[in-house]
Amino acid sequence: MKNLFNIKRLDDRAFLIIQLVAIALWGFQLLSSDAYYVNYALVIMIAVVCVYKNKEVGELHIRGKYSKYEVVIINLFSILFTCMVSFSNYKLWSFTVLPEEYQYRFKWCYHYCMIIMLFVGGYFAFKNIFIAFLRNINKITWSKCETSDKYKMTFVVSFVLLVVTRLVVLFCSQYPGILTPDSINQMRQLLNGSYSNHHPFYHTMVIKMFVMLGMHFFNDINAAVATYSVFQIIFTSICFAFATSTVARMKAPRWIVIAYIMFFCLCHIILYTL
């Protein structure tokens, strides 16, 4: 019996190392992605923490720990998210540059190795994240939240503060908005009338609707871009004000509610970037 226990511990350690190595290789491959790496770096850090947390509670292997339905959901979402990352970075494995003497001999092997590492590493990363998420969400006990004028006032105050601070920053220092290479590409699409799905098509259409509205009223491209920026400020302020009022309804300490408002008020750049 003791030998069996030692074998199980060895298997757990080996499986832990395999998952960590696969996640590390996945992250190393994504260094060559043409997307912003910080998003992948954040996922990788969360995944590594979740791997260790899952090991501590004995949930590296989910078989027998959860119902069949939960196991299917975890695997389904892990595969789905892995496919989204892998196919959005298809250039990593479809366009390869190898020394000429190895092009024909090892190119096919390189393709398959890259694909396997991308899918296996991504699967382990997302699987551990979803296991930890499911374990912690099951600890939450849901109850009906009371609705009172106090929480409505929290929403209104948060919304007004968010809108005012962002509008001040927008018109005083960032007019007509912060344009990134992606947003410049979308602006070029809607001005030329030649669209692609490299960026979400319907998002480009939303930008176009407000830019055209601004052009109609102001007949100025900067004012047109600012029109969309103002819409985005209002929309995101509603979302974050609702999040703040939800935290208040959850009976969070007042300092946490204030910290939420201050964070959203000071975090300007993400809220009116076109």
Please state the domain extents for the chain.
Answer: 2-137, 149-266
Q: Which residues contact 87 (CB under 8 A, 6 or more apart)?
A: none
Query: pLDDT digits over 15-61, tens only?
Result: 888 888 999 988 888 887 777 777 888 889 999 988 888 887 776 66
Tokens of 145: 């939240």
User: Which amino acid is residue 144, in one-letter code?
Assistant: K
**Residue-level pLDDT at 124:** 92
User: How far apart are the two ends of the chain, measured CA to CA in Å?
Assistant: 63
**Residue-level pLDDT at 222:** 84
Flag residues of the chain having pLDDT under 70.
1-11, 59-65, 93-110, 138-149, 268-274
Three-state secondary-structure class, residue 2: helix
Supply the pTM of this predicted model.
0.57
DSSP 92-143: HHHS----HHHHHHHHHHHHHHHHHHHHHHHHHHHHHHHHHHHHHHTT----
Three-state secondary-structure class, residue 178: strand
Q: Which of 187, 185, 182, 181 lies closest to 214 in space, CA to CA? A: 187
Buried-state track 12-46, b at ≥16 Cβ within 10 A, e below 16: eeeeeeebbebbebbbebbeeeeeeeeebeebbeb
Q: How far apart are CA 28 and CA 13, in angstroms?
A: 22
Q: Which residues contact 77 (CB under 8 A, 6 or more apart)?
A: 126, 130
State CA 73 to chain mean position distance.
Answer: 19
Q: How far apart are CA 103 and CA 110, in angstroms?
A: 10
H helices of 138-218, where? 149-173, 181-192, 201-218
